[in-house]
Amino acid sequence: MRWQRGRRSDNVVDARGRSGRRLGGGLSLGGVAVIVIVGLLMGQDPLQILVQIAGQATQPQVTQTQSAPAANDEQSEFVRAILGDTEDTWRELFQQAGQQYRDPQLVLFSGGVNSACGFASSAVGPFYCPGDQRVYLDMAFFREMEQRFSAAGDFAQAYVIAHEVGHHVQTLLGVSAKVNAARQRGERVEGDGGLLVRQELQADCLAGVWAHHAQRRHDWLEAGDLEEALNAASAIGDDRLQKQSRGQVVPDAFTHGTSQQRVRWFSTGFESGQPGRCDTFKVARL
């Protein structure tokens, strides 16, 4: 992927090397929700993650001794290039729809980070917090993608960033608020075909929409790049992660969709380039 062609965003906050543990106080409900959802995505037991973080919260604050990477190292340059291009894409698409796009910030952290959704350790993986409209990313996740999920490559990493930006687009369009309102009414949002799965698959499709316009703008994809993204989407499907962690598939516990569904919806966005093709909430078959 010739990502160097992308415009660098000014909305990346590099907090690596200075992310400390939170002192006491307990997790907010939003923080618990983030850990449960992303824990399931990562194929880990959310309860174990919560216990681990709760134990950290009672310990004295630990100052990380590692020095922060240079602000212009290759990793941050890559993130800035991808985020910058998502900004260019969504600004244009929102303008065409008579709306204004508000850029999210992306926070690079290491170890743990505080957000409006609560404290999160790197164990939860990348996440978007609608409370502060920020994407949070520990770059160590990309190494885990390669080593644990066999999902390597720069375009696979770009897909992850674009998926989280897709959640920001959903927040601006009011989709996230509707899903959250259903949860607050006591509706069950988990499970195969549930609102959480539909929300995540829509974010996959929106990531594909970005990739379509980015490729048209830069012609930056090289041989094998698209396969990298599709492989990453497949690798983090609920069915595949559950099979790896539990030895069986439990559709009632789905939160992100199957491998096949994730690949299908990313491909739908990539092939069409049209956000209107990403309405996963109205289709009967995901």
pLDDT tens digit string along 185-242? 999 899 999 999 999 999 999 999 999 999 999 999 999 999 999 999 898 888 888 8
pLDDT tens-digit map of 40-98: 444 454 544 544 444 444 333 333 334 455 556 899 999 999 999 999 999 999 999 99
Distance CA 271, CA 212 (A): 7
Do 184 and 247 contact (CB within 8 A), yes or no?
A: no
pLDDT value for 236: 84
Spatial neighbors of 173 by CB under 8 A, at least 6 apart, are: none
* pLDDT higher than threshold 90 for residue 31: no
Phi, psi of 12 (to 5 degrees): -100, 125
H helices within 121-194, ranges in order?
140-148, 154-173, 175-184
How many other C-beta atoms can be found within 10 angstroms of the C-beta atom of residue 32?
16
Residue 262 and residue 237 in contact, taking contact as beta carbons nearer than 8 Å = yes
Reduce the DSSP state of residue 94 to 3 states and report it.
helix
Phi, then psi, of 16 in degrees rounded to 5: -65, 140
Mean pLDDT of 4-8: 95
CA distances to 46, 58, 133, 185, 254 from 280, in Å = 26, 42, 22, 21, 15
CA quadruple 233, 238, 240, 241: dihedral sign? positive
| Residue 203, both tokens | 């974010």
Query: 8, 74 in Cβ contact below 8 A?
Result: no
pLDDT, tens only, 128-164: 999 999 999 999 999 988 888 888 899 999 999 999 9
Q: Which residue has the higher pLDDT, 23 or 100?
A: 100
Strand 112-115 to strand 127-129: parallel, antiparallel, or no bridges (unpaired)?
A: unpaired
pTM for the model stands at: 0.82
